[in-house]
Amino acid sequence: MGLNHEEIRALAQQLDDAARHARPIPMLSLSSPLSLKDAYLIQRAAILLRAQRDERLVGMKMGLTSRAKMQQVGVHSPIYGHLTHAMRLMDGGTLQRADHCHPRVEPELAFLLKRDLRGPVSPAEALLAVEGVCAALEVIDSRYQDFKFTLPDVVADNASSSRFVLGSVVQSPAAFDISNLGMIMERNGVTAEIGSSAAIFDHPARSLAALANLLSEVGESLKAGQIVLAGGATAAIHLHPGDHVRLLVDGLGSAELRVA
Ligand code: 0L1
Ligand code: MG
């Protein structure tokens, strides 16, 4: 039997407190048996807590969509999380290290949707709902001690999502091939990671379709105007005060952030 409503709410509160106070907690699965279904219910309950603080839902993220990412954290299944307006940093903006447990950043692409998108869809059908694609950075910050988790733990923790940055160059995927774009992530002017958009689920559109299809299993869909982070193209790198991280993507300019 799964967790009851009260247990779900209490676990969501633990994760929310850990995020707000930047104080990592032991994995939830150490103290309660956690199914994937309960984990997504905890994730949604934690997003409701954010909504009660007037955080607006602005999109979704896919996580663990590349082999490099799966190997880095030892979890081998794509997952999704929610993005709120408070998680957005403007391009070139500053992230406060003290507000995070152990932040890392990874290079991504983001989709900007012009239409609702409901699964089941193919990657080609999913792209028809996309207005534009841009370079993006995602800051992930596991709320668990030592950045260690099982699959249900990381799902409950909103797929580790913490902040995101969107670049300002937007291309329509109808006219711009996003299948194999070179991506370079620099830290303090030095190349830290090199990858390709092809590493994102073999094609970023596959990631978008997979998200729509996963959501359709629980009767949900993506909405026009939403942002979708497609997933990291390389492993994530640690962030430290003083860092300046810049992502360069072929044909899509850059996205950057600083750490204070
Ligand atoms: O966005 C991601 O691929 C991260 C998903 C969760 C795993 C992690 O914290 O790296
Ligand atoms: Mg990511």
What does the pLDDT profile of the chain (260 residues) look like in tens digits? 799 999 999 999 999 999 999 999 999 999 988 999 999 999 999 999 999 999 999 999 999 998 888 888 888 889 999 999 999 999 999 999 999 999 999 999 999 999 999 999 999 999 999 999 999 999 999 999 999 999 999 999 999 999 999 999 999 999 999 999 999 999 999 999 999 999 999 999 999 999 999 999 999 999 999 999 999 999 999 999 999 999 999 999 999 999 99
Query: Which pLDDT score is estimated for 125?
Result: 98
Gap from CA of 62 to ligand 2 centroid (Å): 7
For domain 5-259, give the fold: Fumarylacetoacetate hydrolase; domain 2 (3.90.850)
3-state helix, strand, coil in the chain (%, to 5): 30, 30, 35
Can you tell me the distance from the alpha carbon of 10 to that of 148, in angstroms, rounded to the nearest whole number? 21
Domain spans in the chain, listed from the N-terminal domain onward: 5-259
The kind and range of the H/E element at 57 are strand 57-63
CA 140 to CA 156: how far, in whole Å?
Answer: 14
Q: What is the DSSP letter of 129?
A: T
Task: Give the span between the Cα atoms of 100 and 141, in whole angstroms.
Answer: 7
Ligand 1 centroid to residue 80 C-alpha, Å:
9
Q: Tokens 């899509």: give the residue.
A: 252
Determine which residue's CA is closest to atom 4 belonging to ligand 1. Answer: 63
Question: What pLDDT is recorded for position 95?
Answer: 98
Cα–Cα distance measured from residue 2 to residue 105, given in angstroms and rounded to the nearest whole number? 33
